[in-house]
Amino acid sequence: MGLFTVNQWVTDGHWFDAATTMACVDRFAMGGIEGYEHSCRWLTGFVRLYRPLINELLVRRDRRMARRSDLTKALQDRDLEVLSLTPINWIADMDALEAEAARRGR
């Protein structure tokens, strides 16, 4: 399992640099959608937990794209799909959080 970034052509969405994207990530909070409150809370927590890795991925993505002479062309380059990738170990991360909570008496 891992987190990754993709090129613009993959999603056909807007392209924002790492700093702008992180400003959005920092404000991310799923509202309580009726019937999906637990999922919304989980997803919000997931993004907050992995915020440092998300930032690292975006910075690496931007560095990779900065090596291209023409960003507009690079954003549509079908040879550039996954731009940055890092593995995560969800179970180990949850174990570490639980151990830290126990250490703190929570």
- pLDDT band for position 104 (50/70/90)? very high
- H or E stretch covering 82: strand 82-87
Per residue in 42-53, pLDDT (tens digit) is: 999 999 999 999
| CB atoms closer than 10 angstroms to residue 99 | 10
Of residues 47, 4, 3, the one with CA closest to residue 29: 47
Is residue 90 within 8 A of residue 1, CB to CB? The reply is: yes
Predicted confidence (pLDDT) per residue in 36-95, tens digit: 999 999 999 999 999 999 999 999 999 999 999 999 999 999 999 999 999 999 999 999
Total domains present in the chain: 1
Q: What radius of gyration do the chain's Cα atoms show?
A: 17
